[in-house]
Amino acid sequence: MRTDGAREATRRYVAYVALGSNLGDRAAQLDRARSAMSLLPMTELIATSAIEETSPLGTMAQCPYLNQMAALRTRMHPFALLASLQRIERALGRSRSTRWAARTIDLDIVRAGGMRIDSPTLVLPHPAIGTRSFWQREIGELDRLMAA
């Protein structure tokens, strides 16, 4: 397991978290997820990208997604952050029964400072970071906001 810098998570770092929803009131789901993330311990929601609608990934017929990227300043270890995000997903009705299935909410850690982690439960940066154009747009927007 590669964990460059992961043990140093007691230092503050900025994590980019991708939010996505394509079931129910999608905008309200994103709002609930942002609110829940802002209440995480040792964590501050510091910026969000614009919300955009995208086509679903995979081959299953389903409704379009609303997507957004959030920047969190946190001291939570990335594995603890992942566990917290998964608790938020469950609280908002997420069921992990089928890969690429429609979902009320999806929360993915896309990057966590400069940390590199390769484990069965968490890979950072996220393996799809270079293949999802909407993530690239959202990351670019957050990078500009963070630099201002």
Percent of the chain past pLDDT 90, that is, above it, reads: 77
Q: Is the pLDDT of residue 55 over 90?
A: no
- Name the pTM for this structure: 0.90
Domain residue spans in the chain? 2-147
What pLDDT is stored for residue 134 in this prediction? Answer: 94
CA distance 133 to 137: 6
Q: Is the pLDDT of residue 1 over 60?
A: no
Of the candidates 47, 53, 52, the one whose C-alpha atom is nearest the C-alpha of residue 143 is 47
Interval 23-51: pLDDT, tens: 999 999 999 999 999 999 999 999 999 99
What pLDDT is stored for residue 4 in this prediction? Answer: 43
Superfamily for domain range 2-147:
7,8-Dihydro-6-hydroxymethylpterin-pyrophosphokinase HPPK (3.30.70.560)
**Beta-strand relationship, 116-118 and 43-48:** unpaired
Interval 56-83: pLDDT, tens: 876 677 899 999 999 999 999 999 999 9
